[in-house]
Amino acid sequence: MKGFARFVTSIACLIGTAISAYALEINTAVLRVDYPSLLPISRFDLTPDDIGFAGGVLADEDNQTTGNFMGMTFATRYVATSPEELDETLRGLLGDGIDLLVVMANAQDLLTVADQAGPDVLVLNATSRDMSVRDDQCRANLLHVAPSEMMLADAVMQFAIWKQWNEVFLIQGSNPTDQALGDAYRRAATKFGADIVEEREFEDTGGSRRTDTGHVLVQRQIPVFTQGAEDHDVIIAADNSDLFALYLPYHLWTPRPVMGSGGLRPVTMHAAHEAWGATQFQRRFEENSGRYVQEADYEVWLALRVIGEAVIRINQADPAALREYILSDAFELAAFKGRKVNFRPWNGQLRQPVLLTDSKLTVSVSPQDGFLHQVSTLDTLGLDQPESACTAFTQ
Amino acid sequence: MFKSSFAAAICFACTTLASPALANKVFVSNERGNTITVIDSDTWEVIEEFPGGNRPRGIGISPDGKFLYVCSSDDDTVRVFDTETYAELWTLPSGPDPELFTIHPSGDYLYIANEDDNLVTVVDTQSRTVVAEIPVGVEPEGMAISPDAAFVINTSETTNMAHFIDTADYQIKHNILVDQRPRYAVYTDDGSKLFVSSEIGGTVSVIDPLAANGPELTSKISFEVAGVQPEWLQPVGMRVTADNKWLFVALGPANRVAVIDVETLEVVDYILVGQRVWQMDFTPGQEFLITTNGNSNDVTVIDVDRQQAIKSIQVGEQPWGVAVTPD
C-alpha cells in the first residue's frame, strides 16, 4: 500500500517537472525456470516463492523513479515456468514483443533461450555461474550479470593468498556440477600460486538431508573423512550440490578455516551487507518483500538496473542500441560494491567485486589488495581475454 | 584575519566568553563514536567531546552561530545543540535516516535528505515542524542551496540526478543526469557554477545553473594520481573559496583533497590528508580548511593559501562531518 502511495506522489511530482518528456516504454520480462530440487541443508537457504522476482520489483521501482523524471515507463513481467514448459512460455513472451529478457535458468536452458530469441532480443543471464556460456558457448545476444564460478573461485583464492594460507586441502562433491566448481578452484590455485596439497571427493550417495539428530552422525563422520590429510592451511569445499560443505566447520580432524561452499563463502549479496550504501538497498528490499534478500534477488535487481541505466542514458529501448551502449566504455553502474561495475566487451561478463561472507557479515571483498591487471583490477577475477574461447563478441 | 579578530572582540565585549577570544569552534561528528568533537581553531586543541546521538553524520551551524544541527541518522532525527554549552536543546522532525542537510541563509529552514524514503524534508527551525516533503530520486544524499536561495539542490545516489527544487513552491523544476552515485553538491558564491561530485563515477560534474534554457551540464572534472588505482579516486565532500577561485574536492579512499582552479577546471594539486577523507569546512576567514578522515580517526587542517596540510588532530571514531562556527 505504501508503495502505491509513493507511486502516486511520484506521478504528481512529474506533472510539476519541466523536463522535455516524450513517452518511452520499456517492456522487459524476468523468466525463471524452476527445477526440481532437494531441500537445502540449512533452513536459512530455503527458496522463497518470489525468489529473484522480489529483486526485480525493487529494480522496477528504482528505474521508474528516475523514469518519472525522464518521461519513461518501465514495465516488467515476471514469469516462472518448468523446464518442460520453457519453450512454450518463451514463445509466448517473444510473441508479445518482449525483446529484453532477464533469465534465471541453468546453462543449457539459457542457451536455448538465447538461440530461440535470436539476435534481435537481448538476454541477460541473472543467475547462472556456468563457465561454458562465457567461454566457448558464448552468444552475442547473451550478457552475464551473475559472476562466473571462476570469478567466485578466484575471489576465494585471492583471500587465501592474502592471508598466506597457501596450502589448500580441496574437498569436492561427486556430481558433475561439484567437479566443475573444483576445476575452478584448481585453476585459481594455479593462477595465484597456491598449492592444492590434498584432494578428496565427498560422495553423493543419495537420500535426504540430515534432520533431527543428524548432527550426531555428522560430528562423527566429518573428522574421520578429513583425517590424515597432508599438512594444510585451509580447506576449500566445492559443493554446488549443497551436500556437505556446511558440515565442515568445527568438525575437521585438523582445525583449519573453511572457505568455498561452506565457511567463508563468495557471494554477490547477503542480507547483512551494509557498506557503500547497501543498507538503503536492504531496507528498500525488505520493506517491499517482507523478507531478507538472497543472491538471486540482487542479481535480478542488478540485471534490470543494467537495462534501466542504459535506457536512461541513451533514451532508447532498442535492444541493439542498448547492447552497444552496455558493452561500451561509457557504461557504468553503482551496485553497492564500492566501485563501478561494467562489462567485459569480449564476452559480455559483468565485472564486479565479490563479497566474502561468514553468513553473518561481509568479512572481506575481493579483488584483494595487490592483485593487479592491465585493464582493471576486477579482471583479476575470472576468465581473462587471452584465455577466452569466446568469439561471438568480436565477429 | 583582521575581520575575524574584530568580530570576536565585539563578541567578547558583549558576552563572558571562557574560551580564547580569537578562536572559532570546529565541530566534528563521529559516525561510529556517536560523539561530537569540539576543536579550538586557534590552538587546534580538542576542547570537548560530547554525545551526538546514534550515528551522527551531517552537521551544520545556524547563521547566527548559536545552534549546532546534527543528523542522528539512526535516531531518525536532527538534534539541536547549544554551540556554547553543548547542551542538547531540542530535536527537529527530520524524516527517517537523515544524512545531509543544507540551511537557508536566513536560518529559518533546514532542507534534509532522507536516504531511505526518497524524500527531501523541509523543516522550519523556529516552529520545529515539517513544512514540506518533496519526492525525489532514489537515495537522496547531497544538498545545496543557491546563493540567492531560489533553488535547493538534491542529488540522488541511485537515480544519479541533481534535482533543482524551487524554494518558493517546493516543486522540482529541473533534473540533470550526472555520473554514478552523486554524493555532494556545492555552488560557487556568485551562483554561476554548481558542482556535483559522483563517488562511484569518479567525476565532478560542472553545471551552469543560469544557462538560457535552464541548468545545463557543461563539463566533467576527472582525477588521476600516480600510484593510486583509479577506482579509489572517489570524489565526495567539496568546498569552494568565497573568491570563486578554488574548488577543494575530498577524494575518499584516495586519502587526498584535489585542488581545482575554478576558472580553468584543471586539477592543480592533490593534498595528502588522512584516510577516507569525507567532508570539509572552512574557518570563517577561509584561512583554513578542515577535512574529516573517517578511517584514521582524525581531521586534517589545510592552509588554504599555501594549499598545504599543516596539522592533523585526533578526534572520535570515524569522523564524518565538520562545521565551524561563524565569527
Whether A237 and A117 map to the same domain: the answer is: no
Whether A235 and A283 map to the same domain: the answer is: no
Q: Which of A13, A283, A340 sits opposite B200 (nearest CB)?
A: A340
- Residue A209: per-residue pLDDT: 66
Whether A315 and A168 map to the same domain: the answer is: no
Whether A209 and A237 map to the same domain: the answer is: yes
Mutate to test the interface with A, among B31, B115, B119, B159 (most CBs of A within 10 A): B159
How do residues A50-81 score in pLDDT, each as one tens digit? 999 999 999 999 999 999 999 999 999 999 99
Q: At what angle are helices A319-326 and A295-314 packed, to 10 degrees? A: 100
Q: Output the average pLDDT for chain B.
A: 93
How do residues B162-213 score in pLDDT, each as one tens digit? 999 999 999 999 999 999 999 999 999 999 999 999 999 999 999 999 999 9
| % of chain A with per-residue pLDDT over 90 | 88
The CA distance from A310 to the nearest CA of chain B, in Å, is 12
Whether A169 and A118 map to the same domain: the answer is: no
The CA distance from A332 to the nearest CA of chain B, in Å, is 7
Q: What residues in B contact A10, CB-CB < 8 Å?
A: 135
More confident residue, A161 or A395: A161
- Cβ distance B172 to A277 less than 8 Å, yes or no, reads no
- Residue A395: per-residue pLDDT: 66
Alpha helices in chain A (DSSP H): 2-15, 53-70, 86-95, 107-117, 149-162, 176-192, 214-225, 278-289, 295-314, 319-326
Name the amino acid, one letter, at A50. D
- Rounded to an integer, the average pLDDT of A178-195 is 98
Confidence of residue A213 (pLDDT cuts 50, 70, 90): low
Kind of pairing between the strands at B308-314 and B319-324: unpaired
Q: What CATH number should be reported for the domain holding residue A40?
A: 3.40.50.2300
The answer to whether residue A377 is domain-embedded is no
The CA distance from A339 to the nearest CA of chain B, in Å, is 5
Residue A72: give the domain boundaries: 2-147+269-352
Alpha-carbon span A308 to B24, nearest angstrom: 48
Choose among B39, B33, B99: nearest CA to B69. Answer: B99
- Residue A23: per-residue pLDDT: 84
Whether A113 and A24 map to the same domain: the answer is: yes
- Residue B95: per-residue pLDDT: 82
A284 Cβ under 8 Å from any chain B Cβ: yes
Structural domains of chain B in order of their starting residue, each with its CATH number: 24-324 (2.130.10.10)
How do residues B99-138 score in pLDDT, each as one tens digit? 999 999 999 999 999 988 899 999 999 999 999 999 999 9
- Rounded to an integer, the average pLDDT of A371-388 is 95
- pLDDT(A13) > 60: no
Alpha-carbon span A138 to A192, nearest angstrom: 26
Q: Which of B137, B180, B229 sits opposite A65 (nearest CB)?
A: B137
**Residue positions counted in chain A:** 395
- pLDDT(A9) > 50: no
The CA distance from B211 to the nearest CA of chain A, in Å, is 15
Q: What residues in B contact A18, CB-CB < 8 Å?
A: 173-174, 214
Confidence of residue A210 (pLDDT cuts 50, 70, 90): low
Domain end residue (candidates: A215, A233, A267): A267
How do residues A336-357 score in pLDDT, each as one tens digit? 999 999 999 999 999 999 999 9
Number of domains in chain A: 2
Q: Which of A10, A19, A277 sits opposite B157 (nearest CB)?
A: A277
How do residues A259-318 score in pLDDT, each as one tens digit? 999 999 999 999 999 999 999 999 999 999 999 999 999 999 999 999 999 999 999 999
Whether A167 and A287 map to the same domain: the answer is: no
